Amino acid sequence: MSTDTGARPPAMSDVALAAGVSHQTVSRVLNGHPSVRPETRLRVQDAIARLGYRRNSAARALVTRRSDTLGVVTPASALYGPTSTLVAFEEAAREAGWYVSVATMRRFTADSMRAAVEHFLDHGVDALVVIAPTSEVASAVQGLDVPVPVVLISSAIELREREGVLSVGVDQRLGARLATRHLLARGHTRVLHVAGPQDWFDAQDRLAGWREECEAAGVTAPKPVVAGWSADSGYEVGRKLAAGKLPEAIFAANDQLALGLEHAFWDAGVRVGQDVAIVGFDDEVGAAHYLPPLTTVRQDFVRLGSLAIDVLRQALGGLTGREAPRLVPPEIVVRRSSGV
Amino acid sequence: MSTDTGARPPAMSDVALAAGVSHQTVSRVLNGHPSVRPETRLRVQDAIARLGYRRNSAARALVTRRSDTLGVVTPASALYGPTSTLVAFEEAAREAGWYVSVATMRRFTADSMRAAVEHFLDHGVDALVVIAPTSEVASAVQGLDVPVPVVLISSAIELREREGVLSVGVDQRLGARLATRHLLARGHTRVLHVAGPQDWFDAQDRLAGWREECEAAGVTAPKPVVAGWSADSGYEVGRKLAAGKLPEAIFAANDQLALGLEHAFWDAGVRVGQDVAIVGFDDEVGAAHYLPPLTTVRQDFVRLGSLAIDVLRQALGGLTGREAPRLVPPEIVVRRSSGV
DNA sequence: TGGACCTGTGTGAGCGTTAACATCTGAGTG
DNA sequence: CACTCAGATGTTAACGCTCACACAGGTCCA
């Protein structure tokens, strides 16, 4: 030990030696154990600082089988929703003392999912978090039998129903209702919905919310147009709409679709906000500067992140029973695209 | 051992027992050691599969002091650049057999940086990757003395110069030159630059590239307008420009700025693409549907990610000498905003 | 035919931590 | 004043793996 000249980082025993106590006492100090004399504690802390000691987390994980790390599985896309969710969640996790390990997935196949999960389990994560926007995930998560809690971040209607699956999400349905309500309140009696890809939970929920609100208002919901998420897709839909009978009002499943619609209408000489009202969903960066600025629905990802952590804490505290899903309410942001 | 009924996961010794070999032989099989008889290897692999054995990575990390994990420090923003970089890098890392642990930072102070780095070192990451868009990082990274390689993902002119700092990035300067060249080639002799915040390397480099290209073409670069990154900021600049003498051509430091400019000009009745040409930077999702569709510069983040991994591999292979920075060339995407 | 040298395998000692138990001290109680 | 009991500390044994070494048996060449 005396011959080691700085080669390996100091271990607990080195601290113990320097402080004139046993390594166990050092451990107690580190873990905040109550029965350590204040004076001893001080001596140990001093030695720790002096030696620049840092606890070896591998050794710790080996014996405790915990790692203070959460595994996050998320789709490999730079799309607004998943990305914002990831960033917000990481922030919340870190604040709660967890570290986050990420696995992005190009596709949520059962295989790739299993691989990611196994990796995380190998590395002893305390829990798994799945950012689960599509129904592909449903099957992938379903087969999962893991010894740690799993939290879904997703609006996932279907999964919500299943017992034992923890989940949090933004209330997409409510958001869609707010959007639709806004248009109806402006006097439009026919609100068309340009829907997102129906294997996405968000898209399903927004469609459902729109329909609900129409029914609640006593108007018949026209047949929705199902599209993708992209502005390209919205543009294409817009062209067709402009060529035929123009709807008075459109609720687009996301801002990109709305952007594409605006583009198509512009090309066709249709004035958005006057000839047709449009509401989007997401309040993406820049939506305030679309032409015209887009009325849309904003989701609170920060709150979503901390909600996920709350649920996780509960699950790890042992309360794993069937949890009610927790939903964050979104809010509408009114701009010119829905009428002046 | 016989009394353990599934309580703890199988260990290497369990596999050894089941296969009738020593734990060391199991280890050899796992690590692909050559001198194991094929028959023995098969027997071991069979036992592994049968027991559902999975190697405990904490124990492994304890003795090897490696964890097959990379630590990524990244700004906590949903901005296009950092986000795309993160996603692309994770993908590349995973493909190369590494796992990625993430720490987002709201601000790159020396303190928060140190905390993140310490955490990663605690957890035995093999290397550190810093997505370093601002010069705040410069100081934060500077003081860093870590026992593992550090790779900067950044265009960071200044850092590039320093020896021993590994870095990769997109060639922002080239991108700016391409954008400026495009405008000059269209006959504009005065290209205004609406610059991004100058504590961002990308903004600095784009400014520098623009200036270089102007000089190379023998035109005088007008005084640049320094703004933020946001569309709001672009809008504000646009209003002022529209109120005064309108420039013929504008190179905006990113697409959001360009979007804001388009908005302001629209409000003022200035026709973008005719009265004024605009080029952006990023090719954000949706840029093809701005009004008018935006000519812009696209960055290849996928290539950036794999480049970072390449550099990392080299550094870990021991070749830590002063590395030339590696730059990914961007490309220009021409649309209507720069003239029909 | 003997030793030098490979190949395949086993043995034992850590790695740095926590958990369980053992020990020692001094204060409080009847 | 012996007796219990809580508080403070030390001792020992895992945790599951890799590494360094030992060792058996075979091959090869002098």
Tell me the per-residue pLDDT of A19-36, one tens digit each, with 9 for 90 and over. 999 999 999 999 999 889
Nearest by CB to residue A102, choosing from B56, B102, B284, is B102
Domain total in chain A: 3
Alpha carbon dihedral A169, B232, B73, A111, in 10-degree steps, equals 40
For residue B117, being part of any structural domain is answered with yes
Q: Which nucleotide is nearest to B22 (CA to C1')?
A: C10
Averaged over B19-37, what is the pLDDT? 93
Averaged over B79-89, what is the pLDDT? 88
Residue A122 has pLDDT above 90, yes or no: no
Stated in angstroms, how far is A260 CA from C14 C1'?
A: 64
Categorize the per-residue pLDDT at B1 as very low, low, confident or very high, splitting at 50, 70 and 90: very low
Cβ pairs A/B, distance under 8 A: 153
pLDDT score, position B2: 32
Nearest to A201 by CA among A258, A117, A285, A141: A141
Q: Which amino acid is at A10?
A: P
Categorize the per-residue pLDDT at B67 as very low, low, confident or very high, splitting at 50, 70 and 90: confident
CATH number of the domain residue B34 falls in: 1.10.260.40
Stated in angstroms, how far is B43 CA from C2 C1'?
A: 37
Interface contact flag, A104 B123, Cβ < 8 Å: no
Lowest mean pLDDT among A92-106, B247-261, B326-340: A92-106
Residues of A in contact with B256 (CB under 8 A): 285-286
Residue A301 to residue A285: CA distance in whole angstroms = 14
Q: Could you tell me if B19 and B89 lie in one domain? A: no
For residue A247, being part of any structural domain is answered with yes
Residue B65 has pLDDT above 50, yes or no: yes
Q: Report whether A233 contacts A227 (CB < 8 A).
A: yes
For residue B61, being part of any structural domain is answered with no
Q: Report whether B250 contacts B314 (CB < 8 A).
A: no
Q: Report whether A147 contacts A121 (CB < 8 A).
A: yes
Categorize the per-residue pLDDT at A160 as very low, low, confident or very high, splitting at 50, 70 and 90: low
Residue B46 has pLDDT above 70, yes or no: yes
Categorize the per-residue pLDDT at A4 as very low, low, confident or very high, splitting at 50, 70 and 90: very low
Stated in angstroms, how far is B35 CA from C7 C1'?
A: 7
Residue B4 has pLDDT above 90, yes or no: no
Categorize the per-residue pLDDT at A137 as very low, low, confident or very high, splitting at 50, 70 and 90: confident
Q: Could you tell me if B216 and B289 lie in one domain? A: yes
**Tally of residues, chain B:** 340
Q: Could you tell me if A192 and A205 lie in one domain? A: yes
What letters, b where the CB count within 10 A reaches 16 and e where it falls short, cover B232-255? bbbbbbbbebbeeeebbbbbbbbb
Q: Could you tell me if B163 and B312 lie in one domain? A: yes
Residue A119 to residue B249: CA distance in whole angstroms = 52
Lowest mean pLDDT among A49-58, A289-298, B216-225, B314-323: B314-323
Please list the helix, strand and coil fractions of chain A in percent, rounded to the nearest 5, in that order: 45, 15, 35
Q: Which residues get their CB within 7 angstroms of nucleic chain C?
A: A 8-9, 11-13, 23-24, 27, 30-31, 53, 55-56, 59-60, 62-64; B 20-25, 28, 33-37, 39-40, 59, 62-63
Interface contact flag, A59 B57, Cβ < 8 Å: no
pLDDT score, position A5: 38
pLDDT score, position A321: 55
Residue B297 to residue B294: CA distance in whole angstroms = 10
Interface contact flag, B118 A84, Cβ < 8 Å: no
pLDDT score, position A115: 80
Categorize the per-residue pLDDT at A162 as very low, low, confident or very high, splitting at 50, 70 and 90: low
Stated in angstroms, how far is B22 CA from D25 C1'?
A: 18
**3-class state of residue A284 by DSSP:** coil
Q: Could you tell me if B294 and B305 lie in one domain? A: no
For residue B3, being part of any structural domain is answered with no
DSSP tag of B338 = G
Residue B82 has pLDDT above 90, yes or no: no
Interface contact flag, A286 B62, Cβ < 8 Å: no
Identify from B100, B102, B128, B271 which residue to disrupt to test chain A contact, counting A C-beta atoms within 10 A and taking the largest count.
Answer: B102
Judge if the upstream peptide bond of residue B292 is cis by omega within 30 degrees of 0: yes
Averaged over B310-325, what is the pLDDT? 73
Q: Could you tell me if B79 and B116 lie in one domain? A: yes
**3-class state of residue B93 by DSSP:** helix
pLDDT score, position A249: 97
Q: Could you tell me if A166 and A306 lie in one domain? A: yes
Residues of B in contact with A104 (CB under 8 A): 87, 90-91, 94
Q: Could you tell me if A144 and A208 lie in one domain? A: no
Residue B245 has pLDDT above 70, yes or no: yes
Residues 6 or more apart whose CB falls under 8 angstroms from that of B213 comprise: B176, B177, B180, B181, B184
Alpha helices in A52-134 (DSSP H): 57-64, 80-95, 110-122
Which bases of chain D are under 7 A from a protein CB atom? 7-12, 14-20
Residue A234 has pLDDT above 60, yes or no: yes
Residue nearest to nucleotide D9 (CA to C1'): A25
pLDDT score, position A3: 32
Nearest by CB to residue A289, choosing from B54, B123, B263, is B263
Rg (CA), chain B: 26
Stated in angstroms, how far is A251 CA from D21 C1'?
A: 74
- CA distances from residue A130 to A89, A149, A167, A272 in whole angstroms, order as listed: 11, 11, 9, 38
For residue A322, being part of any structural domain is answered with yes
Averaged over A199-208, what is the pLDDT? 93
Residue A5 to residue B260: CA distance in whole angstroms = 60
Residue A2 has pLDDT above 60, yes or no: no
Q: Report whether B283 contacts B333 (CB < 8 A).
A: yes
**Residue B20 in tokens:** 């009738």
How high is the mean pLDDT of chain B? 89
pLDDT score, position A336: 96
Contact between the CB of A62 and strand D at under 7 Å: yes
Q: What single string gives the DSSP state of each residue in B4-62?
A: --SSSPP-HHHHHHHHTS-HHHHHHHHTT-S-S-HHHHHHHHHHHHHHT----HHHHHH
Residue where the block lists tokens 């295989």: A111
Stated in angstroms, how far is A9 CA from C11 C1'?
A: 29
Q: What is the pLDDT of residues B96-150, one digit of tens each?
A: 888 899 998 887 777 888 888 888 887 778 899 998 888 777 677 777 778 788 8
CA distance, residue A199 to nearest chain B CA (Å)? 21
Q: Report whether B284 contacts B278 (CB < 8 A).
A: no
Q: What is the pLDDT of residues B151-205, one digit of tens each?
A: 889 877 556 556 567 889 999 999 999 999 999 999 999 999 999 999 999 999 9
CA distance, residue B270 to nearest chain A CA (Å)? 14
Q: Could you tell me if A110 and A123 lie in one domain? A: yes
Residue A247 has pLDDT above 80, yes or no: yes
For residue A162, being part of any structural domain is answered with yes
CA distance, residue B230 to nearest chain A CA (Å)? 8
Q: Which nucleotide is nearest to B54 (CA to C1')?
A: D16
Query: Who wins on pLDDT, A295 or B68?
Result: A295
Name the residue range of residue B321's domain: 67-171+301-328
Interface contact flag, B262 A291, Cβ < 8 Å: yes
Q: Could you tell me if A221 and A116 lie in one domain? A: no
Tell the burial category of B66 from Cβ atoms under 10 Å away from its Cβ (0-12, 13-18, 19+).
Answer: middle
For residue B139, being part of any structural domain is answered with yes
**Residue A298 in tokens:** 């904003």
Which bases of chain C are under 7 A from a protein CB atom? 7-12, 14-20
Nearest by CB to residue A57, choosing from B78, B124, B232, is B124
**Residue A201 in tokens:** 């939970």
Q: Could you tell me if A181 and A241 lie in one domain? A: yes
pLDDT score, position B6: 43
Tell the burial category of A278 from Cβ atoms under 10 Å away from its Cβ (0-12, 13-18, 19+).
Answer: buried
Residue of B nearest to A260 (CA): B289
Residue of A nearest to B53 (CA): A122
Contact between the CB of B63 and strand D at under 7 Å: yes
Identify from A98, A106, A123, A270 which residue to disrupt to test chain B contact, counting B C-beta atoms within 10 A and taking the largest count.
Answer: A123
CATH number of the domain residue A73 falls in: 3.40.50.2300
For residue A62, being part of any structural domain is answered with no
Residue A6 has pLDDT above 60, yes or no: no
Residue A168 has pLDDT above 60, yes or no: yes
Residue B235 has pLDDT above 60, yes or no: yes
Residue B167 to residue B159: CA distance in whole angstroms = 8
Nearest by CB to residue B235, choosing from A56, A76, A289, is A289
Q: Could you tell me if B217 and B252 lie in one domain? A: yes
Categorize the per-residue pLDDT at A164 as very low, low, confident or very high, splitting at 50, 70 and 90: low
Tell the burial category of A77 from Cβ atoms under 10 Å away from its Cβ (0-12, 13-18, 19+).
Answer: middle
How high is the mean pLDDT of chain A? 89
Q: Which amino acid is at A240?
A: K
Residue B334 has pLDDT above 50, yes or no: yes
Interface contact flag, B235 A61, Cβ < 8 Å: no
Residue B324 has pLDDT above 60, yes or no: yes
CA distance, residue B57 to nearest chain A CA (Å)? 6
Residue B209 to residue B206: CA distance in whole angstroms = 5
Identify from B89, B236, B289, B301 which residue to disrupt to test chain A contact, counting A C-beta atoms within 10 A and taking the largest count.
Answer: B289
